[in-house]
Chains A and B, each alone.
Chain A
Amino acid sequence: MTARHLPLVDEGALPYEHPLYETLLSIPGLSVVTAPLDALLTWGTKNALWVFPMATSCCGIELMAAAASRVDLDRMGTIIRATPRQGDVMVVAGTITVKMAPRVKLLWDQMPEPKWCIAMGSCAISGDFYRDLYPVVPGVDTFMPVDVYIPGCPPNPEALMHGLLRLQEKIGLRREGKLTQAEYRPGLLDLTKPRVGRLGDVTRDAGLSDAQLEDVSDMTRRDLAEESSEIVPRAEPVREAIASSSQEIEALLRDDFGVTEFPKDAAPLVSRGDHRRLAHRLRALGYAQLIYVVATHFPAKKTDPERFEVAYALRSIGRKSTVVAWRVALAADETIASIVGVFAGADWQEREQFDLVGVRFEGHPDLRRILLPADWSGHPLRKDYAADTAHPPWR
């Protein structure tokens, strides 16, 4: 049997080479004094596990419930501290995405030793059924050590407390120098094994070095530093104008924008050149709220070339609120005029469409990726995007 899954910090094997320590060890009978002291220190460590919550999704709710009256984590001395400096246990509760992971690692590194990590729920343990998706980290133990895994989707508050009790058990076992890991049974984990090795593995993938993680965080940091200082002028609130009826809009589109087709089941197609002007006109008519900007990718077929469609919808605010929507068709290499100057709310939405679909918005003040890390390759909502496209270090 190969000891593939080593304990992450084997304290028994740590070389204590300080001369003072050696001298002290040679004093006979010293252990009579140190053993109770050590027991006291372990007791303190075990019984005051303060939680630093890393709650990103539904498991976080159970974490809150565990601190509430029914289960009451305070009974075992566990309180929740919001700063990593005062936490002992990081409870990762929720799906960790590729963009989130460097932050989680950063916060983990900010916690003072001795520290532990609990992976709460399937998403934190293995990425759950999102684990093959492009943005999801297949288990937090791919980039940081995990001490206790609490199964469940989500685990209930009692299970979290059980996990903390297990952690106490583990702290005690480690102090006594006992191995706390399961016997490795090859093949068991191949079932859901992520494609990269884990931190505790001897066979760990070199692609998952700390240096690389550092790179990723550096990248995002740089990304923040480059934030554009240009201020997008906010559009003037239009209060007087009253939203028009759909006939009027139809007439407007037909007369001024040359739209001839009004399909029953879709928004009318507006030409690429007229689109920004239309947004202005509609805003002046009282359609002051931008509901969405959605881009869709249509891959090349036998008859049609590859193309994009960007759909917009506006709402008039008021008692008789109405919605008007339109589409713009783009060829594969065409760009579309940004409407950020008309609707400030389009800023992030257009960035999101650029990020995920890859449509370029002409005149956008700050067209960068918004959801994915800056070094991501490709646009995942394109139909031709391969789900397992490599993204270091996780895929």
Chain B
Amino acid sequence: MESIPFGLAALVTLFSALRVVRSPNLVHAALWLGLALLGTAALFAVLGASFLAGVQVLLYIGGVMTLTLVGIMITRRHDGLNVPAESIGHVRAGVVSVALFAVLAWAISATPGLDAAPLGPDATTQDIGHALVGTHVLAFEVVSMLLLAAMLGAIVIARRKDPAPHAVTHLHVPATAVREAAE
């Protein structure tokens, strides 16, 4: 009974993930990515991790998606957004994907405690909170420092002055005009 919503969500996620890769239109790809992320959130919700689902929607769709769209809007010409979707190395990519899948599957199946009873659906939020600032506080802080460093780095890169600043072009006067005016 529970596997039907799960399967549906998984199908939607897979299909839209495929469209993200195959879509020739960058904007379409971005929007399909949104659906794929939403599908992931639905998977979380189906599995009872409603906090993760909420965070997924909030951060990935609300934040990452929006930033992706901003990126597309401010960097691309808007009249022709088509990019070639054909990948150059199907075979190599396929091999890498299969290998990755194998490794992940092995790692998951080898994890001990898979047979344990699932966590109750209630109180996940509080548990996560306690886990984050209690048990795993060190890891949490390390990740925070990493993110802080990344953010600082991004700011430094973004604010770096261009070595050759552009002249104010609209006031530019050709030398001949000046000479003519002075005569």
Contacts and interface: CB of A to CB of B under 8 A. Distances in A.
Direct contact of A and B (CB under 8 A): yes
Contacts of B177: 233, 235-236, 341
A235 B181 contact: yes
Contacts of A234: 170-173
14 contacts: A233-B173, A233-B177, A234-B170, A234-B171, A234-B173, A235-B173, A235-B181, A236-B173, A236-B178, A238-B181, A281-B183, A283-B181, A284-B182, A341-B177
B182 A233 contact: no
A280 interface: yes
B174 A284 contact: no
A284 B181 contact: yes
A284 B177 CA distance: 11
B180 interface: yes
A280 B174 contact: no
Contacts of B172: 233-234
Interface string A103-135: 000000000000000000000000000000000
Interface in B126-183: 170-174, 177-178, 180-183
Nearest to B180: A280
Nearest to A241: B181
B179 to A, nearest CB: 10
A234 B181 CA distance: 12
Counting chain A residues whose Cβ lies within 8 A of the other chain, the interface size class is 10 to 19
A233 B181 contact: no
B105 to A, nearest CB: 53
SS class, residues of chain B in contact with chain A: helix
B180 A233 contact: no
Interface in A267-310: 280-281, 283-284
Contacts of A235: 173, 177, 181
Interface in B35-73: none
A309 B180 CA distance: 25
A234 B171 CA distance: 7
B183 A233 contact: no
Interface string A139-150: 000000000000
A236 B172 CA distance: 8
A235 B170 CA distance: 10
Contacts of B182: 284
Contacts of B178: 236
Contacts of B171: 234
A74 B7 CA distance: 53
A280 B173 contact: no
A342 B178 CA distance: 10
A230 B65 CA distance: 40
B181 A280 contact: yes
B170 A280 contact: no
A378 B177 CA distance: 35
B175 to A, nearest CB: 10
The 9 A-B residue pairs with the shortest CB-CB distance, nearest first, are A236-B173, A284-B181, A233-B174, A280-B180, A280-B181, A236-B178, A233-B177, A283-B181, A235-B177
A238 B180 CA distance: 13
A280 B174 CA distance: 15
A240 to B, nearest CB: 12
A235 B175 CA distance: 11
Interface string A231-258: 0011110100000000000000000000
A309 B164 CA distance: 50
Residue from the set B171, B177, B178 with the largest chain A CB neighbour count within 10 Å: B177
Given A234-B173, A284-B182, 5 more contacts: A233-B177, A234-B171, A236-B178, A281-B183, A283-B181
Interface string A341-380: 1100000000000000000000000000000000000000
Nearest to A238: B181
A236 B181 contact: yes
Contacts of B170: 234
A342 B173 CA distance: 11
B177 to A, nearest CB: 6
B28 to A, nearest CB: 24
A235 B182 CA distance: 12
Nearest to A341: B177
Contacts of B181: 235-236, 238, 280, 283-284, 342
A284 B180 CA distance: 9
A342 B170 CA distance: 15
A205 B36 CA distance: 60
A234 B182 CA distance: 15
B171 to A, nearest CB: 7
Nearest to B171: A234
B79 to A, nearest CB: 14
A342 B181 CA distance: 8
B8 to A, nearest CB: 36
A233 B172 CA distance: 8
A280 B176 CA distance: 12
A34 to B, nearest CB: 42
A283 B178 CA distance: 11
Nearest to B183: A280
A325 B14 CA distance: 76
Contacts of B173: 233-236
